[in-house]
């Protein structure tokens, strides 16, 4: 599934593919105007993607993103709102051409979902084009920003009959008597009739189903259909089946690097910024770890970035690009033990790499660099003769302390003066 563009001056419509689980059917979701004071840009596609994903719709799902043309709030106050609606009407007239670019679209059942001005786009499309070559099943209108008498050649009855004649299934008119933005639309345009999104359809037909959301939406403006898209769609289709192959997406703050990212919710996912793996649960909107991250110093380059370690495995240092193997013991990451030989007495040992190790046989201290497969000394030992047995092995002295002779087993306290060993 690829992004599909269509040339339309100022509006710049783009079809974003959201998911394809292999099931039959295609759903197109069309958003309304962008919220806020400046509507010149299109709404946040990632946020809309997350809202739509909560419904887990089966089949192919596309989001039609477009620029409504709102420039400033004063555009509304000057009574120029008709320009915005004219853009919705233009997009509706081009919707047939745009959807024709989707591969195999005419062979599948098609469902159109429009929110606010997006519902205006759908009605304009059904009135202005012949859709007999498409298999449009259902049309879902969410808070439609349109009046039944806005299309002068059509009476309200003709409008609904024309729309029904273009589809094979039903029209769901989701309305809310307390819808504040649609109330402002009526006030700005100085019209007597109410918006479709604030009342039942005046034309009664078996295939038109009016669903009331009056006072039931979460936010005060009572226009938040996409914010509660999962619940809204469950009221339209009470017995609908969710797609198990549609991952729910969510915008959250990474609990480690605190960057705002989009992740697959309710399952383990990786932060693209810091590569930390965690699960974001939509039920309580909280992040959870299977392995809490720990910052470890790179044992090779000791760089400033460090290595963030979670589950056991090999991690790449961002500074030196070397792979380091870690294991977890409880909540603390460790380097897994490896086998090597003491560089002095040649006895086989099991040690943790990159850590100072005291040989239990000759007491010399060294570290094993697993990446380079070499022995490293902080202080190279000075081998001296055991004063008690004068054995052949000798004693490796690195600092002022007692050492055990491998030949006789007795311990002797040594002191280093310059490069000379004294006892």
Asked which of 306, 334, 362 is the last residue of a domain, the reply is 334
Ranges of H-type helices in 167-313: 180-189, 229-236
Q: In terms of domains, do 255 and 324 share one? A: no
List the pLDDT tens digit at each of the 423 positions of the chain. 789 988 887 788 999 999 999 999 999 999 988 654 444 567 888 889 999 999 999 999 999 999 876 654 545 555 556 777 888 899 999 999 999 999 999 999 999 999 999 999 999 999 989 999 999 999 999 999 888 888 878 899 999 999 999 999 999 999 999 988 887 777 766 667 888 999 999 999 999 999 999 988 888 778 889 989 999 999 999 999 999 999 999 988 998 888 899 999 989 998 888 888 899 998 888 999 888 888 888 877 878 888 888 888 888 888 888 888 888 776 677 777 888 888 777 888 888 777 788 888 777 788 887 777 777 777 777 788 888 888 777 788 877 778 777 778 788 887 877 777 777
Q: In terms of domains, do 171 and 209 share one? A: yes
Q: Do the beta carbons of residue 27 and residue 57 sit within 8 Å?
A: yes
The number of distinct structural domains making up the chain is 4
Q: In terms of domains, do 116 and 185 share one? A: yes
Q: CA–CA separation, 412 vs 423, rounded Å?
A: 7
Q: Do the beta carbons of residue 287 and residue 252 sit within 8 Å?
A: yes
Q: In terms of domains, do 342 and 328 share one? A: no
Joined together, the tokens standing for residue 219 give 């936010």
The domain of 381 spans: 338-422
Structure pTM?
Answer: 0.75
Asked which of 224, 244, 264 is the last residue of a domain, the reply is 244
Q: In terms of domains, do 141 and 91 share one? A: yes
Q: What angle do CA 296, 298, 301 make, to 5 degrees?
A: 155
Joined together, the tokens standing for residue 176 give 């809310």
Asked which of 280, 311, 334 is the last residue of a domain, the reply is 334
What are residue 222's phi and psi, to 5 degrees? 55, 35
Q: In terms of domains, do 275 and 349 share one? A: no
Ranges of H-type helices in 68-138: 73-77, 81-99, 117-128
Q: In terms of domains, do 238 and 312 share one? A: no
Q: In terms of domains, do 15 and 159 share one? A: yes
């Amino acid at each position: 599934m690829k992004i599909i563009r269509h040339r339309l001056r100022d509006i710049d419509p783009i079809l974003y593919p959201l998911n394809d689980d292999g099931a039959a059917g295609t759903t197109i979701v069309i958003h309304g105007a962008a919220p806020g004071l400046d509507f010149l840009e299109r709404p946040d596609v990632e946020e809309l993607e997350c809202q739509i994903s909560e419904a887990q719709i089966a089949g192919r799902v596309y989001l039609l993103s477009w620029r409504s043309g709102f420039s400033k709030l004063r555009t509304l106050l000057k009574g120029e709102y008709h320009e915005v609606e004219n853009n919705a009407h233009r997009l509706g007239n081009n919707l047939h051409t745009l959807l024709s670019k989707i591969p195999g679209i005419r062979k599948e059942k098609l469902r159109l979902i429009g929110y606010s001005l997006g519902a205006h786009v759908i009605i304009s499309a059904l009135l202005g084009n012949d859709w007999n070559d498409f298999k449009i099943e259902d049309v879902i209108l969410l808070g439609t920003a349109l009046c039944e008498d806005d299309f002068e050649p059509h009476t309200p009855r003709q409008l609904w009959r024309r729309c029904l004649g273009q589809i094979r299934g039903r029209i769901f008119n989701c309305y809310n008597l307390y819808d504040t933005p649609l109330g402002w639309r009526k006030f700005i345009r100085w019209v007597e009739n109410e918006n479709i999104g604030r009342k039942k359809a005046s034309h009664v037909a078996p295939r038109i189903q009016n669903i009331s959301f009056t006072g039931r939406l979460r936010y005060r403006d009572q226009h938040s259909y996409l914010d509660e898209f999962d619940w809204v769609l469950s009221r339209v289709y009470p017995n609908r089946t969710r797609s198990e192959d549609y991952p729910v997406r969510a915008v959250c703050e990474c609990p480690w690097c605190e960057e705002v990212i989009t992740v697959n919710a309710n399952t383990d996912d990786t932060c693209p910024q810091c590569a930390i793996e965690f699960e974001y649960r939509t039920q309580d909107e909280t992040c959870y770890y299977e392995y809490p991250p720990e910052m470890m110093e790179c044992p090779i380059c000791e760089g400033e970035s460090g290595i963030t370690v979670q589950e056991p495995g090999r991690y790449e240092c961002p500074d030196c690009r070397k792979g380091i193997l870690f294991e977890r013991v409880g909540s603390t990451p460790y380097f897994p033990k490896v086998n090597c030989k003491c560089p002095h007495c040649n006895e086989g040992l099991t040690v943790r790499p990159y850590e100072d190790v005291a040989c239990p046989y000759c007491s010399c201290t060294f570290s094993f660099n697993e990446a380079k497969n070499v022995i490293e000394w902080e202080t190279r030992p000075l081998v001296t003769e055991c004063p008690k047995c004068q054995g052949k092995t000798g004693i490796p002295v690195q600092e002022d302390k007692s050492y055990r002779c491998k030949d006789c087993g007795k311990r002797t306290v040594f002191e280093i003066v310059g490069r000379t060993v004294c006892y």
